[in-house]
Structure 1
Amino acid sequence: MSSTQTRRKISKRAPAEAKEDAQSAVQRRFLRLGLERQQDFVVHLPLRYEDETRIQPIASLRPGQTGQVEGEILHSEVQFRPRRQLVAVLEDGSGRLALRWLNFYPSQQRQVERGKRVRVRGELRGGFSGVEMVHPRVTVAGGELPDSLTPVYPTTDGLAQPTLRRAIDQALREADLSDTLSEDIRRRYRLMPFDEAIRSLHHPPPSVSYQDLVEREHPAWRRVKFDELLAQQLSLAMARAARLAQRSRAYGGAGQGLVQRLQKGLPFALTAAQQRVVAEISADLARAYPMHRLLQGDVGSGKTVVAALAAAQVIANGGQVAMMAPTEILAEQHHGKLAGWLEPLGVRIAWLTGSLGVKARREAIEAIESGQAQLVVGTQALIQDKVVFANLGLVILDEQHRFGVGQRLELSRKGEEAGGALIPHQLNMSATPIPRTLAMTFFADLDVSVIDQLPPGRTPVVTKLVSDGRRDEVLALVAQEVRSGRQAYWVCPLVEESEALQLQTAVETHERLCQALPDLRVSLIHGKLKAAEKARVMDAFQAGEVDLLVATTVIEVGVDVPKASLMIIEHAERFGLAQLHQLRGRVGRGAVQSVCLLLYQAPLSQVARQRLRAMYETGDGFEIARRDLEQRGPGEFLGLRQSGAALLRFASLETDEELAAQAQELARHWLEHEPGRAQVHMHRWMRGRQDYLRS
């Protein structure tokens, strides 16, 4: 075949292939949004709405308002001062409006040529020459107006709203919109029919209150939120039922000898709360189905020793235990404590992190695989493919919300791979208490143990708010504390300079503090230091060889230095509430009165002001957690940021507690009496995300 014939053949195929490629690109973008089945498109609901049902007079619009006007272009030109831009003037008889494009194509220029009648939509701003719209949407005047508000959907790069709207409208015509709730249930919970609710949200008539729609208070939103919460409650109940049907090794009476020896060897007595929690966990481990328990306790309440006693019970019965922590510093703290308690009793402990040398890593992996290592402490290195456990019986996750859902599942599956049909027990630990609503929704399939008292000798931390302008007073306080034989932390958010945030860096702060306090031994720790260097600095601080430790948030959890009685948090307004509470928990670990200074830079935003006020007003972890949930949503508690899928898209944990309780009630009834209906409802809503709920 000649090259000319080949080119002709290619040119004939090209349009069809190009169309096919374009379609597959659109499909890929749909999948990126989780849109695969018709049902997925049906419940892909608008973020907001645009009112294109009416034309407004220019004179009636005010800056900050989004509007749609129609009129004649009086003037149009490309200007070059101060930069290249397309400028036009539109008149509708009531007034004039400037239109401006900073980036434009020749086709846009032709759209707004002088004398043309056009319809434009955009947000009004106050400009140098009166009101203007920047980058408005332009169409030809006189077209038919829609009879409902125009939905604006969550989308992804390269997927235009019109494409998404067409796909959703097609799904609304073809999908099964039958109701999963009976009329009796709808009446009992005051819910509108599903079909009506869905159509109202995709195409609301202009008479509907825009406020009710965007604030999700319309009855149609109430129905959607109930359905979503019901699907979630069903999956959690199913996950719990599935767990009870799974098998685990029962680690019972044979382990009590080691547990008792460990308890007798401790240099302190357990609190009543710790004893209660130890008994709950011990009973779980003795059962032949997997424990899935959340151990929560405020900062410094003594969760690590509870974990050690659980580990001892499993190890004495021949099982292996893996404890995974989110940072090397925290993992090392746990390793030091557990080794001090358990190694004298003959327990063999392995250490595995990403920074280990090749030889040490190989030896640790071999000890894990052979079963010689009875307790393995480490970071995410534990979930690498090369790590194989001989007999993993218990997985302990510290600060479980700091791991992605996938990572938590991965470690649990290490036990499944090793034991075939047997599933390891799982203990999740968190110093961030779970608010009641969150426990009722996301953690409904978990058993929860709470250590609700601090060990004796712990003193409440006094929290003070100090503006950046009083830095000299703060330095004087640091010097005074050190002269009294105590130590201090100075926490900074970043290591490297960021012009955008204008935050002081740990490195710069360390240098300034060395100059301002030349008599003090000032040291520096941050995330970019090598593991050995971090360990050296922390060991020196714990040994009292460092007076003032300048640090980033690597010291947020797990660091225990009883002589440290003062903490200064630089740019406290930039931290989250839960993180501030965690940092504050690093002091107050001895008998001396401890102080946490929140150093802030004015002016404060409304959110930052609320956050700092909460820290000043309460040291109660549950109250802090409740306020943090109000401000930041559930992602922080759940570790869902890394999972790629938030499990609630529409319901709000702050405002929909009543709906959550009703959904929980109906889920229990359905699973007992109407399991078929439950499956149909799940199919519509969960989109294959049930597996995340077992982590």
Structure 2
Amino acid sequence: MPGSAPLSAPQKALRKLGLSRDIDLALHLPMRWEDETRITALRDAREGELAQIEGTVTGSEVAFRPRRQLVVTLDDGTDTCQLRFFSFYPSQQKAMAIGTRLRARGELRGGLFGWQLVHPTCRPAHDPLPKALTPVYPTVAALPQAYLRKAVAAGLARADLSDTFAPGLAQSLGLAPGWSLRESLAFLHHPSPEVPMALLEDRSHPAWQRLKAEELLAQQLSQLVTKRERDALRAPALLAQPGGLHEQLLAALPFQRTQAQCRVGEEIASDLARAVPMHRLLQGDVGSGKTVVAALAAAIAIDAGWQCALMAPTEILAEQHFRKLIGWLEPLLAPRALRVAWLTGSQKKKERAEMLEQIACGAAALVVGTHAVIQEQVQFPRLALAIIDEQHRFGVAQRLALRAKMQAQEQEPHLLMMSATPIPRTLAMSYYADLDVSTIDELPPGRTPVLTKVIAESRRAEVVERIRAQVAQGRQVYWVCPLIEESEALDLSNATATHEALSAALPGVAVGLLHSRMPTAQKKSVMAQFESGETGVLVSTTVIEVGVDVPNASLMVIEHAERFGLSQLHQLRGRVGRGAAASACVLLYAPGEQGRVGETARARLKAMAETNDGFEIARRDLDIRGPGEFLGARQSGAPLLRFADLQEDRALLEAVRAAAPRLLDRHPELAQRHLARWLGGKSEYLKA
């Protein structure tokens, strides 16, 4: 606003923490509490305890051993305690002059020289003792606790905390009576010292339960509102034509579909036949055959005279889809003067211009590519189906941009999202509550189970011997090096050194090298040599994580496996076991400085060794990482849960999920107020 005063550093820090509304401040809860309600006599004190003592200053001097420090002696009438400050101001020294009555709080240490407090918090003893515990809030550098406490107290006093729960709702959710939002917040900011600290810290106190229920209700309502808004939108109704492209493709496929593929294919076809936009997640383990399901959905859209776009996060994955789709669809599209187009960021200008022309005139019935597909200059005259692979790798903005391609026709495209990282049930109930989920829960016949071994780096020579034996039998091997995010150069030297070492250890074997800094043409050439069998061993950074299909590859070695995420390890393992040969995955780990691997990494490696089931892997991944990281919270835009825990509060989530539609239908104004309170302006994100 013109003429408004510039923000102070603490005000800027409040904004940075997202604390702009009174309700935001009221919901900014303490991370812990300090008990300043009582005074401990030094004669009753125990070493190591957090204590508050009160007494008279009997000594104050600046000492220089071992370094400059202010040493103040406090006598509480039962014993004395030295307060030590290694950084201090003259004003502090003055405030702790001899004869002053002082209250000091900190961790008591008992040494040869009696009691000590190092850098305690001090205040004059005439201040009245607080009646409640003192909150300690999460904060940032420019925001002192004292300022934040005042801001939160003011926000709490001003915020509208009127009840948005319909009569009887709290009771139906199993919440303790007498704990409204107002009472719960007032209590959690300043709990009574009589309340056991464990109830506050493990969030099992009735006040916490009320807050969790409020938060889960906001999340469920927002998903429900989004779903209903989407259901009110229009999309082209796409019907499979008898004898049309869908049936022709089914007849031309060189394999039989699994029962699971047939089932999800029918679910998608019935969605497409409705004039409401499909919003479906197709999840299935690595290699379960999601691409063919996508191809059949595309065939229905093309048959009805519309276009389809398929977007993948990496060029290699997009190209893998492209090659399969061209093989299946191009012969069937050619008689109709239609084609499959290819669009990526690395295309030559002339080829790109030609593709854009084909898309704009409608000759490109299916467009496959990376995020280049959603750029402004790409004009779809008749886009009816958007397919997003590995959808968790795309941000909300990209998904919204893809949907915007249809706004000229005042219609929405149908949206099919695919993921090889299955979503555990609690996540599906909360973060994906507005999605329909189809699951391919069986692998195509002929896929062999992969044996997983966890082996220490010290046994590397044995692994190289195993590779030699596999190659001698005519098999092929992947060796994956970790991506080191801080430095591409380190990445490169790591992969290059491994490539040189394996080339030297395996004379007569062609060892290929693939890494992120290679030009696209060179990457394609290296991959082609491996796919054709010219190369026996492929050393690579994680660019082969998804989308590579070489049935002759029977061994996957993952170096520094402790650095990889669980879903990434599972994706990589899925690159082998695609043929009839017995396949194995070796997880090479390097113990840290203490000769041990960190707890999280150990849990991941153990999960990999114990199960091949992608759903079990996903469940354990959620346990290890929590929902924020599992979802890629930075990309999802969805407000993540701050108070509720999906594992701990599953029963509450289920109760809230059942109650949300009733509140929305019978008390729409309460539901609206509840959403505004909890989500503010974040609800746009939920529509993607």
With structure 2 as the length reference, what TM-score do the two structures score? 0.90
d(CA) in 1 for partners of 2:51, 2:520: 58
Match of 1:624 in 2: 617
Match of 2:6 among 15, 21, 41: 21
2:346 to 355, 374, 396: 355
Aligned-partner Cα distance in 1 for 2:110–2:568 = 41
Give the secondary structure class of the aligned counterpart of 1:458: coil
- 1:118, distance to aligned residue in structure 2 (A): 5.1
**Shift of residue 476, structure 1, vs aligned partner:** 0.7
Aligned CA distance change for structure 1 residues 502 and 302 (closer, same or farther; 3 Å): closer
- What is the CA–CA distance in structure 2 between the aligned matches of 1:352 and 1:85, rounded to whole Å? 67
Deviates most, 543-552 or 115-124: 115-124
Task: Name the structure 2 match of 1:252.
Answer: 239
1:693 equivalent in alignment to 2:658: no
Unaligned runs of 5+ in 2: none
Find the aligned partners of 1:496 and 1:670 in 2 and give their Cα distance.
Answer: 46
Match status 1:309 vs 2:286: no
* Distance in 2 of aligned mates of 1:568 and 1:227: 47
Asked whether 1:678 is paired with 2:664, we answer no
Cα separation, 1, equivalents of 2:427 and 2:604 = 20
1:661 paired residue number? 654
1:672 and 1:130 map into 2 onto residues whose CA distance is: 68
Q: Deviations over 1:480-499 (max 9, x none)?
A: 11111111111221358879
Please state how far the C-alpha of 1:398 moved relative to its aligned partner.
0.7
Residues in 2 aligned to 1:228 and 1:260: alpha-carbon distance in whole angstroms: 48
Q: Which residue type is aligned with residue 318 of structure 2? A: A
SS in 2 for 1:39: helix
Alpha-carbon shift at residue 386 of structure 1 (Å) = 2.7
Please give the alpha-carbon distance, in whole angstroms, between the structure 1 residues aligned to 2:650 and 2:683.
22
Q: Deviations over 1:44-97 (max 9, x none)?
A: 22222233333446783545x65545564856547597xx76464655564645
Question: Displacement of 1:575 after TM fit?
Answer: 1.8
Cα offsets for 1:172-211 (capped at 9, x unmatched): 2222222122452223333222211111111112122222
* Counterpart residue type for residue 7 of structure 2: A
Query: How far apart are 1:433 and its partner, in Å?
Result: 1.1
Does 2:440 align with 1:440?
Answer: no
- Find out whether 1:394 has 2:381 as its counterpart: no
Amino acid at match of 1:427: L
Letter in 2 for 1:187: Q
Give me the TM-score of the superposition, normalised by structure 1: 0.89
Distance 1:337 1:57, change over 3 A: farther
Report Cα offsets for 1:465-490 as digits up to 9, x if no partner: 11121111111111111111111111
Could you tell me whether the CA contact under 8 Å between 1:295 and 1:303 is conserved in 2?
yes
SS at match of 1:482: helix
Counterparts of residues 537-616 of structure 1 (less than 5 Å): 537-602=526-591, 603-616=596-609
- Quote how far apart the aligned CAs of 1:620 are: 1.0
Secondary structure of 1:627 counterpart: helix
Distance 2:189 2:621 in 1: 32
Provide the rounded CA distance (Å) in 2 between the counterparts of 1:349 and 1:502.
35
1:33 to 17, 24, 42: 17
Closer/same/farther in 2, CA of residues 130 and 690 from structure 1, 3 Å limit: farther
Secondary structure of 1:642's partner?
helix
Which 10-residue stretch deviates more, 429-438 or 178-187? 178-187
Q: Is 1:222 aligned with 2:209?
A: yes
Aligned pair 1:202/2:189, yes or no?
A: yes
Contact 2:236/2:384 (8 A) holds in 1? yes
Structural RMSD (CA): 3.0
Distance 1:66 1:583, change over 3 A: farther
Question: Which one-letter code corresponds to 1:20 in the other structure?
Answer: A
The counterpart of 1:522, out of the listed 502, 508, 511, is 511
Code of the aligned partner of 2:319: E
* Alignment partner, residue 258 of structure 2: 271
The reply on whether 1:465 has 2:454 as its aligned counterpart is: yes
- Rounded to whole Å, the distance in 2 between the matches of 1:262 and 1:469 is 51
Structure 1 residues 640-649 or 600-609, which shifts more? 640-649
CA distance in 2, matches of 1:126, 1:386: 72
Aligned equivalent of 1:285: 272
How far 1:165 sits from its partner (Å)? 2.2
Shift of residue 462, structure 1, vs aligned partner: 0.6
Deviation at 1:303, TM superposition (A): 0.3
The alpha-carbon deviation at position 455 of structure 1 amounts to: 0.2
CA distance in 2, matches of 1:479, 1:502: 25
- TM-superposed deviation, 1:26: 4.8
Range with bigger deviation, 476-485 or 373-382: 373-382
What is aligned with 1:300? Answer: 287
Distance change in 2, residues 1:496/1:290 (3 Å):
closer
User: Residue deviations 1:450-473, cap 9 Å, x none?
Assistant: 101000000111111111211111
Matching residue of 1:483: 472
Asked if the contact 1:321/1:376 (under 8 Å) is kept, the reply is: yes
8 Å contact kept, 1:98–1:130: no
Instruction: Give me the whole-angstrom Cα distance separating, in 2, the residues matched to 1:528 and 1:43.
Output: 46
Q: Distance in 2 between matches of 1:127 and 1:361?
A: 76
Q: Which residue of 2 aligns with 1:11?
A: none
**Is contact 1:88–1:112 with CA below 8 Å preserved after alignment?**
no
SS at match of 1:377: strand
The change in CA–CA distance for 1:155 and 1:353 in structure 2 (over 3 A counts) is farther
Count of residues in Structure 1 that have an aligned counterpart in Structure 2: 670
Counterpart Cα distance in 2 of 1:47 and 1:149 = 13
> What amino acid maps onto 2:245 in structure 1?
L
Instruction: Indicate if the aligned counterparts of 1:297 and 1:430 stay in contact, CA closer than 8 A.
Output: yes
1:641 matched to which residue of 2? 634
Q: Which amino acid aligns with 1:299?
A: V
Please tell me whether the aligned partners of residues 83 and 119 of structure 2 are also in contact (alpha carbons under 8 angstroms): no
Matches within 5 A, 1:366-405: 366-405=357-396
Distance 1:476 1:111 in 2: 74
Aligned partner letter, 1:552: T
Could you say if the C-alpha distance between residues 503 and 331 of structure 1 is closer, same or farther in structure 2, counting changes exceeding 3 Å?
A: closer
Instruction: Select 1:160's aligned residue among 116, 129, 144.
Output: 144
Residues 645, 497 of structure 1: alpha-carbon distance in 2 compared, 3 angstrom cutoff: closer
Corresponding residue for residue 9 of structure 1 = none
- Decide which of 170, 182, 194 is 1:186's aligned counterpart: 170
* Alpha-carbon displacement from aligned partner over 1:314-369 (angstroms, at most 9, x marks no partner): 12222221111111211111111112211222242222222223333333333333
Distance 1:537 1:631 in 2: 36
Q: Once the 2 structures are TM-superposed, how far is the Cα of residue 559 of structure 1 from its aligned partner?
A: 1.5
* Aligned mate of 1:176, from 155, 160, 177: 160
Amino acid at match of 1:300: G
What CA distance in whole angstroms lies between the structure 2 residues aligned with 1:251 and 1:202?
55
CA gap 1:217/1:585 in 2 versus in 1, 3 angstroms: same
**SS state at 1:565 partner:** strand
One-letter amino acid of the structure 2 residue matched with residue 654 of structure 1: Q
Tell me if the contact between 1:349 and 1:374 (Cα under 8 Å) persists in the aligned partners: yes
State the distance in 1 between where 2:588 and 2:326 align: 37
* Alpha-carbon distance in 2 for matches of 1:593, 1:129: 70
